[in-house]
């Protein structure tokens, strides 16, 4: 398919909807799925006819590349009802389509035409619009993903792929402020690796250290850089920000952290609100010192799923450093602005919101 050609999409609608079984007031994150899915295969060097079909299991050869050599990348997005109910919007969707292709390049996978991604997604959302929660904090979580499907045992790039989009109504990812543990034993990524790709392997490698952190009473891990084990990196589920002396500081995008779309939006909003934002290396020693001197007043993570989520405890070298998230002012203001833009209650001066219905 040419990058500019409008994709042909066939639609098969479900005959039995899951809607009556969904409790919109009790939505866990990532456990409920809408009635339909978008699916498109790539083989013979091109994208084939795309389909929207009832949500169902995939049938794949056990020899597929994705099961053995891990060609698997994904995106995370949300669709929202505007607060006044006047339409459904997506937040910077073209950025997700672009980032999927950046991940695809790094993982040696084909580019997904931007039109195929955006038009397919729009049609899918229209069909499953009744799954979008109208409750406060609710949204339709959208998970586009691309996997290598060639049945072949051998370490080389697959010649078949599946691009798929699934969606589901969801509430918030964490809900409350979280605690994070800092390791200097395990690492998530290092320079020259693929830490900035939204690749499944980046998450798989963190599961064991995150489980150990949970056993110690922490919700997640704040990763340090892989080379020096000194500079903070990201949380894995979120990019990280600190407020020190009234300034916001966040690690540089140096290829080792996810290039968060929420991160970028938060930086833009913070600057617009008049805050200074530094993107630079920040060592764990600087953070601990600033915490001990009460100069570090806020810590928070940002991400599509997590939005802007406070962090109220850091564990490092067997010591805990605490903050009271109820005192956080900057992150609260940023969150209010971000959510206001997303829900259409505040002016979208950066032109981020795309109405789909």
Residues forming the site for ligand COI (CB under 6 A): 76, 237, 303-305
Structure tokens at 257: 């952290």
For residue 324, what are the contacts with CB-CB under 8 A and spacing of at least 6? 312
Which residues pair with residue 231 across a beta bridge? 283
Closest CB to ligand COI among 164 and 305? 305
The DSSP string of 276-328 is -EEES--BHHHHHHHHHTT-EEEEEEEETTTEEEEEEEEEETTEEEE--GGG-
| Among the listed residues 271, 270, 288, the one whose alpha carbon sits nearest the alpha carbon of residue 330 | 270
Residue closer to ligand COI by CB (options 133, 290) is 133
Q: Given phi > 0 = left and psi -120 to 50 = alpha, else beta, which region is 11?
A: beta
Shortest distance, position 260 Cβ to ligand COI, whole Å: 8
Q: Cβ closer to ligand COI: 132 or 290? A: 132
Q: Are 312 and 177 in contact (CB under 8 A)?
A: yes
Q: How many CB atoms lie within 10 A of CB 107?
A: 20
Nearer CB in complex with ligand COI: 47/74: 74
Smallest gap from Cβ 282 to ligand COI, in A, equals 22
What is the nearest approach in angstroms of ligand COI to the Cβ of residue 60?
22
Q: Which is nearer to ligand COI, 168 or 303 (CB)?
A: 303
Q: 228 in helix, strand or coil?
A: coil
- Which of 297, 175, 284 lies closest to 245, judged by CA? 297
In angstroms, give the least distance from the CB of 75 to ligand COI: 7
For the bound state, the minimum distance from the C-beta of residue 139 to ligand COI, rounded and expressed in Å, comes to 11
- Taking each helix axis from N to C end, the angle separating 93-106 and 114-127, rounded to the nearest 10 degrees, works out to 130
Work out how close the CB of 199 gets to ligand COI at its nearest, in angstroms, rounded to a whole number.
11
We find the least distance from the C-beta atom of residue 237 to ligand COI, in angstroms, to be 4
Residue nearest to ligand COI (CB): 76
Place of tokens 């290598």: 148
- Complex with ligand COI: residue 226 or 303, whichever CB lies closer: 303
**Nearest alpha carbon to residue 295 among 227, 341, 244, 231:** 244
| Closest CB to ligand COI among residues 169, 290 | 169
Closest distance to ligand COI from the beta carbon of 157 (Å):
24
- In the complex with ligand COI, the residue whose CB is nearer, 304 or 342, is 304
What's the token pair of residue 303? Answer: 């991400």
Confirm if 217 and 322 have CB atoms less than 8 A apart: no
């Amino acid at each position: 398919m040419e990058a500019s050609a409008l994709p042909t999409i066939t639609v098969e609608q479900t005959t039995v909807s899951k809607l009556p079984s969904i409790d919109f007031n009790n939505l866990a994150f990532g456990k409920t799925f809408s009635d339909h899915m978008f699916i498109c295969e790539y083989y013979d060097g091109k994208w084939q006819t795309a389909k929207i079909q009832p949500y169902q299991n995939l049938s794949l050869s056990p020899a597929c590349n994705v099961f053995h050599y891990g060609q698997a990348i994904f995106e995370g997005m949300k669709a929202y009802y505007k607060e006044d109910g006047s339409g459904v919007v997506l937040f910077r969707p073209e950025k997700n389509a672009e980032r999927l292709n950046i991940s695809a390049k790094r993982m040696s996978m084909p580019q997904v035409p931007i039109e195929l991604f955006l038009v397919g997604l729009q049609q899918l959302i229209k069909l499953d619009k009744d799954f979008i929660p109208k409750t406060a904090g609710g949204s339709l979580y959208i998970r586009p993903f691309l996997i290598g499907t060639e049945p072949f045992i051998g370490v080389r790039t697959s010649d078949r792929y599946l691009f798929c989009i699934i969606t589901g109504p969801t509430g918030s990812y964490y809900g409350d402020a979280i605690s994070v543990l800092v390791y200097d034993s395990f690492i998530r990524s290092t320079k020259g690796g693929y830490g900035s790709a939204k690749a499944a392997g980046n998450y798989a490698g963190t599961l064991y250290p995150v489980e150990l952190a949970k056993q110690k009473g922490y919700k997640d891990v704040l990763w340090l850089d892989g080379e020096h084990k000194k500079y903070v990196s990201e949380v894995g589920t979120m990019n990280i920000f600190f407020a020190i002396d009234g300034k916001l500081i966040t690690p540089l995008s140096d290829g080792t952290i996810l290039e968060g779309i929420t991160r970028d939006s938060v930086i833009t909003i913070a600057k617009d609100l008049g805050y200074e934002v530094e993107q630079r290396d920040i060592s764990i020693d600087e953070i601990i010192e600033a915490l001990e001197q009460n100069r570090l007043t806020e810590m928070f993570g940002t991400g599509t799923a997590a939005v802007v989520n406070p962090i109220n405890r850091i564990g490092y070298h067997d010591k805990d450093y605490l903050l009271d998230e109820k005192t956080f002012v900057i992150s609260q203001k940023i969150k209010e602005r971000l959510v206001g833009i997303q829900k259409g209650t505040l002016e979208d001066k950066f032109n981020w919101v795309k109405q789909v219905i």
